[in-house]
Chains A and B, each alone.
Chain A
């Protein structure tokens, strides 16, 4: 019988892990001071961060909220013994002009209209964005909202949006009539034609006549009075809402077997992607003016919205095409084998998957589009950046830069960060665990 005295017969009692690997110290060692290189990087970063804070925080903490001009800000800071160009921010300009930065020149007694439009936008988006939390019936409101929003913002006769909705009804009716006599395709074409003719030529006189019979409406607001964030959001929301469906159609068109459809879609996408947005905006603001007969009043904001929409829909089409390309051939074949036609297959099988894959790209395009709305300041529309220039032209605020840009940046960040977080939520929600 061998003597295995070196074999333990009892388990060593558990001990605490070494102090250097747990808690704050352990985390620091693992993440910040792992080796010499990381330690040096950490120290450099810390120094930079602290230095930045020491500059920025005192600048932000500046008791100049009530100042009425830049000179007054400087007096306040001077009285505190703070001298120099960057000794403190002049927040008086924000107090004086924040409403203008939000609403532009919109008449101040009807600010409730853009505010209401914005709140209703959230309500209208809820069934689309958070479908599981809200009643399904709310989707009807979402369908009406695209007609409600322009009416709230621009005002005018209530008959105009009603007649535009009537155009859809007319188109559907014409489609039914024609489709029952001939084939479906012909009916579709007739329906679209009737609706377009109605919108282009008949909406204005009919709604004017109805307005004369029974006046219903609110005060009209000129497009020139739009400005600030209201303008950015209006352009951004409309362009986003239209560019997604348009992008889907273009992406499908590009993959189509129909030669002409395919050629048109490729031509459109490549042309738009090959031109900078500024060029398109200049076309909207100046070239269209030249080509249209003098005296034509084609709303400048509408022109800009159309250009921004076309621009982002081309990008959207390519993003979605990426999603389509990521689907395996088996999905298409599976749809075919179930006997689904083209549109059923797209609606039930292809698009749900392709769009899910494309979410990051789609939201990225949205965010880019929203930020691109600031380019309209180049053609003389007073978006937040254009307004910041106009505010500086007031001799009381001439020379103020960072306060205005900072305020605008914070607001833009809130919107863009919100969109980005939502897209991450959506990705998690739609994650079906196939990978």
Chain B
């Protein structure tokens, strides 16, 4: 009852905000700054450095949109949001978009009246156990104690998984990832479960990462992506196609190194020409200029470059592309054509 009331209120607010703020694109242009909701800090995805500059996999999406719309990748006001405040911040218009490792689910899309514009990272919930436990599969975890963050989809997934496999577990509720690391290392729980990307980052921070294994089972689908409010499709299109531009750039071989050359004059590949604005008027259809995608891609390179720089195999987090490879390489990353 309480929950439905709360969600109802959120929904009403979403409608109100959507109606009143129809024209986010114009608002952002008038303001000269993009208000982008990010996480308060998630390794590889969003973190401020010592000078207060935000960087990370999600942050690049914000910067790319700002570059596309305003021509300046630094014209972003980063609004740190917690898991509890993110949806109200978006619904109330405090932020123009949310790029905060948020799982695309039915109820968030439909009931909370948000629009997920795409997926920039396919995640899934996994398990990490100490190697000495000798567990090879999550199905062997009967009777184990599990560290789990409260109030997240992971908690519900965990219950579903154990019930479906008819095995028992004892949850150890924790609030933050840092607390989970401490509890897990101190042996307060046998298993730590969260998104696989989070597990990799956590494991990488251990003194001896090799003593811990991430089990092969991935028990949930967690498509993470940027989202905007319902009801402002022009703005949703801008964010969606900015993300698609990054993805297409990788597919078409446009990198931060060669983009200057490729954008200088029309080449042989018409799709590259259309994307980079040397042919046709795709930017004008979005309400932007012809160079929008060039600026967006110049921020941090194409999707693959952004991935490699922030969370890829050469970073401490060391995530393989896996599901997040281009569809041509057997992954799920796929952009509709620029035509």
Contacts and interface: CB of A to CB of B under 8 A. Distances in A.
Number of chain A interface residues as a range: 35 or more
Interface in B62-78: 77-78
B16 interface: yes
B286 interface: no
Contacts of B82: 377-380
B85 A285 contact: yes
B84 interface: yes
Contacts of A394: 43, 47-49
Q: Across chains A and B, which 5 residue pairs bring their CB atoms closest together, nearest first?
A: A393-B41, A399-B205, A289-B92, A393-B47, A390-B41
A392 B52 contact: no
A294 B85 contact: no
Nearest to B18: A294
A100 interface: yes
Contacts of B177: 392
B315 interface: yes
Contacts, number: 125
9 contacts: A70-B205, A100-B50, A105-B48, A222-B77, A224-B78, A390-B48, A394-B47, A394-B48, A399-B205
Contact of A398 (B9, B17, B204): B204
Contact of B40 (A74, A224, A282, A386): A386
A101 to B, nearest CB: 10
Given A224-B77, A380-B79, A382-B80, A398 B13 contact: no
Interface string B14-38: 0011001100000100000000000
A17 interface: no
Given A395-B317, A401-B182, A100 B85 contact: no
Contact of B93 (A108, A295, A381): A295
Given A286-B92, A380-B82, A392 B178 contact: yes
Contact of B207 (A85, A225, A377): A85
Given A85-B185, A290-B13, A398 B80 contact: no
B306 to A, nearest CB: 15
Interface of B: 9-10, 12-13, 16-17, 20-21, 27, 39-52, 56, 77-82, 84-85, 88-89, 91-94, 176-178, 181-182, 185, 201-202, 204-207, 315-317
A152 interface: no
Contacts of A105: 48, 52
Given A224-B79, A399-B206, A401-B181, A393 B46 contact: yes
B133 to A, nearest CB: 18
A71 interface: yes
B167 to A, nearest CB: 30
Nearest to A227: B52
Contacts of A398: 43, 201-202, 204-205, 316
Nearest to A83: B207
A389 interface: yes
B321 to A, nearest CB: 18
Given A224-B77, A294-B21, A398-B202, 14 more contacts: A224-B78, A282-B85, A289-B88, A290-B10, A295-B27, A381-B80, A382-B40, A386-B40, A390-B41, A390-B48, A395-B47, A395-B201, A395-B315, A395-B316
Contacts of A285: 85, 88
A69 to B, nearest CB: 8
A383 B322 CA distance: 37
Contact of A393 (B16, B43, B92, B181): B43
A393 B202 CA distance: 10
A222 B33 CA distance: 13
A379 B84 CA distance: 7
Nearest to A70: B205
A105 B79 CA distance: 12
A135 interface: no
A377 B85 CA distance: 11
Given A389-B40, A393-B42, A395-B316, A378 B84 contact: yes
A398 B77 CA distance: 24
A84 interface: yes
A139 B27 CA distance: 46
A161 interface: no
Interface string A380-424: 111000100111111110110100000000000000000000000
